[in-house]
Amino acid sequence: MPTLWIKNARVIDPAARRDRVGDLFLVDGKIAAAPSAAAKKRAQVIDARGLVACPGLVDIHVHFREPGQTHKETIATGSHCAAAGGFTTVVCMPNTAPVADNAGTIQYINDAIRRDAVVKVYPTGCITVGMKGQALAPIGSLKRAGVVAITDDGDCVQSNELMRRAIEYAKMFDLPVMDHCQDASMTQGAVMNEGVVSTRLGLRGWPNAAEDLIVARNVILSEYTGAHIHLQHISSRFSIEVIRRAKSRGARITAEATPHHIALTEDCLSTYDTNFKMNPPLRTEADRQAIIGGLRDGTLDCVCTDHAPHTDYEKDKEFDYAPNGILGLETSLAVTLDVLVRENKFKLPHVVDLLTRQPAKILGLPAGTLAEGAAADVCLFDPAEKWLYDAKAGFSKSSNSPWHGQTLTGRVRTTIVDGRLVYRDGRLVGR
């Protein structure tokens, strides 16, 4: 493995509070101090003048669909998307087919990761057997099999008592519990945010309260048990206020936002384009601004994509029948930079922190830093480069993106995993 010498980059490492132009040295898969003059002569040089060098991006909420739904995505193609988006570490949700509720399925996923992934991929396991919300999955066995968290993402556990027992067991095994906050009794048949727009479009609405109630439930259970609960893709301004108050009391609650919820609102659904259909749904401008405010003050801890591939023929249906979800990995950085840095004047190191150190910290992953001795996982990007996003020409097996055909600003140029180039200037390296 050659020594890589990244020269003249704006190096941003929030973990070390570093933000200055300089060089990075990647030796034997680790971040290293400046090597000898002789080693520098042998190094492969990457001139990163005008580029930002930061820790490889981290996404703790993706769907790679393997096993069982490989017509939509695989570990291989999902990891290719991640590399193209600057991500070096991602965490997969367990709603596969079969669902990942046992050690055997986790072993299958880990085998596929070792065989096919070009970035670091970690599995999660289910909270309940079959994701049916009726009986706890074997949490200890899942931990031993290698999961980094448990979640029934997409099928929120409705029983408060079962959720209590789940987080008590998870705490014993030092496993975070990740929850998709949705009171199912309030969202039967719902396909978009409940309000004026849903009434005008004649579509059944998904009220904020369905999220708010479960967020409040999880806060209460976390404080009652002392367990860590991570709240996924928060979309409601009321939920954000509940989380803010809980954190002020020291509750072990963390929460994430998505690029689509900070960039888009329910008004985008006026043409019934199913590429804007997701769960939780796009909400109002007031909700969007509250999410941005939550990221600004630390109420929301990180940005995650909820990358959810679906085929064209699945999405090309009447709005009520199309599945929820959009692609996110290849567009996440550009969309997040556009909304947070250019529109809302966040400092660039703050946004890098939301995409690197913070998500890694939530699940205790060895990522999100450029400290000497750390894994040489690096993202090089041009924050000012404009580019046309063509979802159909992307690295996913699917193309369900609301940003298809749009010009975005901020582009990943190079992705490095353990000191190896895996993506550079629009192409996977070595493939």
- 3 state SS of 236: coil
Task: Say whether pLDDT at 333 is over 90.
Answer: yes
pLDDT digits (tens, 9 = 90+) for 242-295: 999 999 999 999 999 999 999 999 999 999 999 999 999 999 999 999 999 999
What the block records as the tokens of 200 is: 């005008």
What the block records as the tokens of 256 is: 């994430």
Domain 56-363: state its class. Answer: alpha beta
Question: What percentage of residues in the chain have a pLDDT greater than 70?
Answer: 100
Task: Say whether pLDDT at 396 is over 90.
Answer: yes
pLDDT digits (tens, 9 = 90+) for 141-168: 999 999 999 999 989 999 999 999 999 9
Closest by CA to 147, choosing from 190, 193, 109, is: 109
Q: Which residues pair with 219 in a beta bridge?
A: none
Domain with CATH 3.20.20.140 in the chain: 56-363
| Residue 177, pLDDT score | 98
Instruction: Please give the DSSP secondary-structure letter assigned to residue 53.
Output: E
Q: Per mean pLDDT, which range of 30-44, 71-85, 88-102 is the poorest?
A: 30-44
4-52+375-385+406-428 folds as Urease, subunit C; domain 1 (2.30.40)
Alpha carbon 199 to chain centroid, angstroms: 31
H-only helix segments in 6-102: 37-42, 75-84
Question: What is the bridge-based pairing of β-strands 229-231 and 253-257?
Answer: parallel
Whether 53 contacts 24, CB under 8 Å? yes
Q: Which residues pair with 231 in a beta bridge?
A: 179, 255
- Mean of pLDDT values over 354-361: 98
Instruction: Report the C-alpha gap between 154 and 280 in whole angstroms.
Output: 9
Active site residues: 306
Instruction: Report the C-alpha gap between 272 and 317 in whole angstroms.
Output: 10
| Residue 268, pLDDT score | 98
What the block records as the tokens of 75 is: 């570990």
What the block records as the tokens of 282 is: 């796009």
Question: What percentage of residues in the chain have a pLDDT greater than 90?
Answer: 97
**Total-model pTM:** 0.97
pLDDT digits (tens, 9 = 90+) for 90-105: 999 999 999 999 999 9
